[in-house]
Amino acid sequence: MKIAVLGSGMVGRTLAIDLVAQHDVTSFDASEYALELLKSKSTAVKTLKADLSAYSAYKQLLEPFDLIVTAVPGFIGYNTLEAVIEAGKNVIDISFFPEDALQLNSLAKKKNVTAIVDCGVAPGVSNLIIGRYNKIMKIESFECYVGGLPKIRKKPFEYKAPFSPIDVIEEYTRPARLKENGQIVIKPALSEIELMDFDDVGTLEAFNTDGLRSILFTMAHIPNLKEKTLRYPGHADLMIVLQKGGFFSNESIRFKQAEIIPLEYTSAVLIKEWKLQPSEEEFTVMKVIVKGNMNNTPKTIEYTMLDRFDVGTQTSSMSRTTGYTCTAMVNAFAEGLFNEIGVFPPELVGNNENCFNYILDYLKQRNVNWIKKEY
């Protein structure tokens, strides 16, 4: 297939390099530097500098391609996806934008295209799992625990992010929607901190964040849904201190003739402590627990994944776990395993057993191993 990858950031680069083994791949980015870095890692991927916010040019720009992969920054993600669909192209998306992708469903149907969104790890694999088991059991509860963490623990925060602190802080302040006993409830981010043990990692803490996204609506019949973020123990309490101390506030403070928003300046301060360096080892840890009844018998399905920075190729676990899920979906689509028309979050793909197994096998070949327990 002829594939266009829009966006050559950390994840976009990783998935282009993976896809070029089987496809004709062209990566787009506005940044010369990002494209040069990609070329230095793979001569097979073609690159093209382009202003990806020039949506009116998409029709012509994307004309030669069979499939588009969108891996742009979240804040332009929705508009990018809309422009790709408008251009009449099938698309697999991993941009994680805040808007509701299902709003584009009727446009996708009109344009006769397939758009699969949120194709990462969480959202992504967690959605595939709930979709898969929703088909074969009566699910009572779904729990997802996920975190990306640095190998080296440096006090006080014991945390590093491959993106701006402001995006992480946004997760720490946006109220978390979850579902309890059939009701959607809203709890503060960083609430209900609990300790959990993970094999080969040790004890982490889990706390509420707003990560369920489309599942809240597509799985509205499941009475209990929650997603929690994982960090080294103590991190959430420190974030609560900064929040209560006013450092995450969106209300500007008058300071030396300027209006400065604490959240923005805090992000500028924290970047020194939080910036994940390119060769800094990190890992992704995740656990999904589905409970319910299968053939009228109580059943628990547990999937766990622990993936580490690839020292050989200097590829972050964050890129591996999200990027390879996306490329798995691309190949599942390329092989015709999924061909419905419209916009689909992964839970609506995962109900297809072949797709589900294909994606987990694909990840396993890249050493991203999802371990299943059933009891």
- Interface positions with a second copy (CB under 8 A): 155-157, 238, 240-242, 244-247, 249, 253, 255-256, 258, 260, 262, 264-266, 268-270, 272-273
Other C-beta atoms closer than 10 Å to the C-beta of 166 total 16
55/247 with CB nearer a second copy: 247
21/271 with CB nearer a second copy: 271
Sign of CA dihedral 176, 107, 95, 243: negative
In the complex, least distance from residue 194 CB atom to a second copy, rounded to whole angstroms: 20
221/244 with CB nearer a second copy: 244
Other C-beta atoms closer than 10 Å to the C-beta of 149 total 20
In the complex, least distance from residue 162 CB atom to a second copy, rounded to whole angstroms: 19
201/238 with CB nearer a second copy: 238
In the complex, least distance from residue 286 CB atom to a second copy, rounded to whole angstroms: 27
75/255 with CB nearer a second copy: 255
CA–CA separation, 37 and 8 (whole Å): 9
In the complex, least distance from residue 275 CB atom to a second copy, rounded to whole angstroms: 12
Q: Quick check: 225 and 179 in contact, CB under 8 A?
A: yes
In the complex, least distance from residue 230 CB atom to a second copy, rounded to whole angstroms: 20
Q: Quick check: 325 and 121 in contact, CB under 8 A?
A: yes
Q: Quick check: 185 and 178 in contact, CB under 8 A?
A: yes
CA angle 247/248/254 to nearest 5° reads: 60
Q: What burial class does residue 74 get, using C-beta atoms within 10 Å of its C-beta: 0-12 exposed, 13-18 middle, 19+ buried?
A: middle
Residues 6+ apart with CB under 8 A from 36: none
Residues 6+ apart with CB under 8 A from 119: 92, 93, 94, 325, 326, 329, 346
Q: Quick check: 355 and 337 in contact, CB under 8 A?
A: yes
CA–CA separation, 330 and 38 (whole Å): 20
In the complex, least distance from residue 276 CB atom to a second copy, rounded to whole angstroms: 16
150/350 with CB nearer a second copy: 150
In the complex, least distance from residue 193 CB atom to a second copy, rounded to whole angstroms: 14
263/290 with CB nearer a second copy: 263
In the complex, least distance from residue 242 CB atom to a second copy, rounded to whole angstroms: 8
155/221 with CB nearer a second copy: 155
CA–CA separation, 120 and 326 (whole Å): 6
Q: What burial class does residue 178 get, using C-beta atoms within 10 Å of its C-beta: 0-12 exposed, 13-18 middle, 19+ buried?
A: buried
In the complex, least distance from residue 157 CB atom to a second copy, rounded to whole angstroms: 7
CA–CA separation, 236 and 245 (whole Å): 14
In the complex, least distance from residue 168 CB atom to a second copy, rounded to whole angstroms: 13
242/326 with CB nearer a second copy: 242
Report the interhelical angle of 125-136 vs 353-365 (nearest 10°). Answer: 140
195/258 with CB nearer a second copy: 258
